[in-house]
Amino acid sequence: MAKGKRKLQEINASSMADIAFLLLIFFLVTTTMDIDKGLITLLPPISEEEPPPPDKANQRNVLDILVNKNDQLLVKGDLMDVTELKELAKTHVNNNDVDPRYSKSPQDAIVSLKNDRGTSYEVYITVQNELKAAYNELRDEYAINNFGVKYSDLQKVNQKKVRNVFPLRISEAEPENY
Partner 1 sequence: MAAIRKKGGKETPAISTASLPDIIFILLFFFMVATVMRETELKVNIKPAKATELQKLQKKSLVSYIYIGQPTRIYQEKFGTAPVVQLNDVIYQIVDSDGSTNSNVSEVRRFIVNERSKLPEKQQKSLTTSLRVDRGVKMGIVTDVKQELRKVAAYKVNYSAVPRTDW
Interface residues with partner 1 (CB under 8 A) are 13, 16-17, 20-21, 23-24, 27-28, 30-46, 69, 83, 115-122, 124-126, 128-129, 132-133, 136, 175
Which helix (H) or strand (E) is 86 found in, with range? Answer: helix 85-93
CB of 148 to partner 1, least distance (A): 23
CB of 82 to partner 1, least distance (A): 9
Find out whether 90 and 96 touch, Cβ atoms under 8 Å: no
Rank residues 1 and 40 by Cβ distance to partner 1 and give the closer one: 40
Q: How many angstroms separate the CA atoms of 56 and 51, rounded? A: 15
Taking Cα atoms as reference points, which of 154, 177, 176, 178 lies closest to residue 165? Answer: 154
Rank residues 50 and 55 by Cβ distance to partner 1 and give the closer one: 50
Tell me the three state secondary structure of residue 114: strand
Rank residues 124 and 147 by Cβ distance to partner 1 and give the closer one: 124
Q: How many angstroms separate the CA atoms of 105 and 3, rounded? A: 96
Find out whether 138 and 94 touch, Cβ atoms under 8 Å: yes
CA count, 13 A, side-chain hemisphere, 155:
3
CB of 155 to partner 1, least distance (A): 18
Rank residues 60 and 86 by Cβ distance to partner 1 and give the closer one: 86
CB of 19 to partner 1, least distance (A): 9
26 by Cβ neighbours in 10 Å (0-12 / 13-18 / 19+) ranks as exposed
CB of 77 to partner 1, least distance (A): 21
Rank residues 2 and 13 by Cβ distance to partner 1 and give the closer one: 13
